Amino acid sequence: MTKADASLRIRQIIELETGVTPHLGHQSITIDLNRARARQTRLAFLPLAVGFLRFSVYAVVTVTTNILIWKEEIAYAGCNKWSAAQLVPTTWNQDLLPCPYTRTQATVADCCFALDKACKLGESCWFHQGRPQFQEESAVECYRSKGTNSYGAGGQCCYGQNGQLITTGTGAGSDDRYHSSHYIFKHFFHDVLPFIGCCKVSRDPEMCDTYLRHRPPRRGSNTNPQNGGAWGDPHYQTLDGLAYTFNGYGEYTYLAILEHDTATLQEITAAFDSTLNYTFMSQVRTAPLVETGNKVTVTKAFAAKSNTLGSQPIRMVVSRREHLLVYRGNEMLDLEPNLDSVNSNQTILLTFSDVTIEKEPVKKTITLTWPIGVSVKVSLVNIVSPAAAVVLNIGASLSSAFQGRTYGLLGNYDGNSANDLRNKNGQVISSNSTTEQIHRQFGTTWDIDPTKSMMYYEQNETPLFYSQQNVNYTPLFSLPRPSNDNLARQICHIGPESESSTWTTAQWTCFFDLTVTNDQALAQSSFVASQELQEIRESQRNPPEFDSSLPLEMS
């Protein structure tokens, strides 16, 4: 199969799991299940399908049935045969992330869950209709885990009309023996076909209950992922929600996640040690806008890498010509639209074993997703004042499993924002510190070891150069008065009589960036970036609703 549109007819079903690699772009695969039956006897449900299954391949594979002839007696026998071959779920579903309690929380859990395109709001959710005879709730939208565990399993979370997680019956999401994206064909034959046979074709409720015992509904948790980020003339929000400004010039540790085995041996207050093993490491580069007298810095580069086998660093840099360059390792990636990379939503998707890269040209965003439970969204901001330039806003979404293991400019993620300004030496700076104190005692300490840089460098650039700039550079600490206060307030949605002490973080960062650069695009993007982070935090606090008619017992 090539990257060009093609059709391939496969006569041996076993090739589905070992020999077929879908490419980006539109392709189709037609499989003759009658001929394949004898070659794949371990799949109990092949006798149910007579004719052909057609798989349409875009960025992911979606499965639709063209011709399926089902017989209930065969479904009954197939379900029993499948059930007899199943292992206890606890032997393969450990370490899957719990579901967010509400659909609102799931929509912002970018690190860990993605919308299930087979069940989204306003469209059919055929696979997750509750059984009326048992008064089961039907799903209106489902989300699937982005990551998998060491057994290759996946999780699914489904939500009802009231936006609450469904945890019982056929309307609920389930644990899948094989992750729907990582093991597309195995998932279809070991999770989807058994569900159709046991719960859709068979009218015996005990058969469906048998399926649910082997593929149990996913449970929920109130330990939701958290988000942080950097935007504008760099303003930061930590994963615990503390906002601060750091206008450094250099290369810094943005977010580092200590490996779990290492974290148990090290106190959270300890100094950062770059020689230890890290599950995830990311770095940012900030540099001045020359036309501001070198007193205003913005983010110009980003690099990140997970510690999974075969992982390569992703490097993103705004070149001297103000073009964004993206590399995986030393290979430049083509993120321009073409038939092989554009999916049905007009986004550009590149999938690797360690990371998925998705570009949305209209929104000017690039989202990097590592299946370990980390997602980073890079937004491009084109400014025109004081000169044409490209600025990077960088947001991060992180699984709650990493609490107590983070270092860097996104703070000490432990649910307590008061200790977020922990510097590289392990010292905690007061969250009420001045901008200058934060700069000198916290921000600059997070400069990277030049020998540990993951960054991409253009000609005549070196890690040592940026390390020296971190020591020598002094930014603007006091905010000058805007040339037009009324216009600045209007652009930043600030009332004419509003005191600065009452401004929101979005208003303050917008006003700051407009004052020091006089660029409305940068100021407005800062307002939006800060506002989005705040809205995400509000969504993550969205509590589940409880049925007050149920009895409450305490023991």
User: What is the token pair recorded at 303?
Assistant: 């690099």
Average pLDDT, the chain: 83
Residue 357 has pLDDT above 50, yes or no: yes
CA-CA distance, 329 to 286, in Å (whole number)?
A: 21
Hey, how many other C-beta atoms are within 10 angstroms of the C-beta on 109? 28
**Cα end-to-end distance, the chain, whole Å:** 62
Among 19-23, 30-34, 64-68, 398-402, the range scoring the smallest mean pLDDT is: 64-68
- Coil, helix or strand at residue 78: helix
Residue 36 has pLDDT above 90, yes or no: no
Among 13-27, 45-59, 430-444, 471-485, the range scoring the smallest mean pLDDT is: 45-59
More confident residue, 124 or 485: 485
User: pLDDT tens for residues 152-165?
Assistant: 999 999 999 999 99
- Determine the pLDDT at residue 225: 87
- What confidence tier does 8 reach under pLDDT thresholds 50, 70, 90? very low
Residues 6+ apart with CB under 8 A from 223: 98, 400, 403
Between the CA of residue 402 and those of 102, 113, 239, 372, 376, what are the distances in Å? 21, 16, 11, 10, 15
Residue 45 has pLDDT above 70, yes or no: no
Q: Across residues 369-394, what is the average pLDDT?
A: 92
Residue 55 has pLDDT above 60, yes or no: no
User: pLDDT tens for residues 221-258?
Assistant: 877 889 999 999 999 999 999 999 999 999 999 999 99
Q: Is the dihedral of CA 163, 534, 154, 121 positive or negative?
A: positive
Hey, how many other C-beta atoms are within 10 angstroms of the C-beta on 275? 6
CA-CA distance, 386 to 522, in Å (whole number)?
A: 11
Among 421, 423, 439, 422, which residue's Cα sits nearest to residue 431? 421
Residue 28 has pLDDT above 90, yes or no: no
CA-CA distance, 105 to 2, in Å (whole number)?
A: 40
Residue 57 has pLDDT above 50, yes or no: no
CA-CA distance, 30 to 53, in Å (whole number)?
A: 6
Report the share of the chain in percent with pLDDT over 90: 60
- Determine the pLDDT at residue 545: 54
- Coil, helix or strand at residue 489: helix
User: pLDDT tens for residues 386-435?
Assistant: 788 999 999 999 999 899 999 999 999 999 999 999 999 999 999 999 99
As a 3-state breakdown, the chain gives helix, strand, coil percent values, each rounded to 5, of: 25, 25, 50
- State how far Cα 410 lies from the chain centre: 16
User: pLDDT tens for residues 269-314?
Assistant: 578 998 899 999 999 999 998 776 778 899 999 999 999 988 999 9
More confident residue, 147 or 169: 169
- Determine the pLDDT at residue 53: 38
CA-CA distance, 249 to 401, in Å (whole number)?
A: 32
- Coil, helix or strand at residue 233: coil
Report the share of the chain in percent with pLDDT over 70: 81
More confident residue, 505 or 7: 505
Residue 56 has pLDDT above 70, yes or no: no
- Determine the pLDDT at residue 63: 40
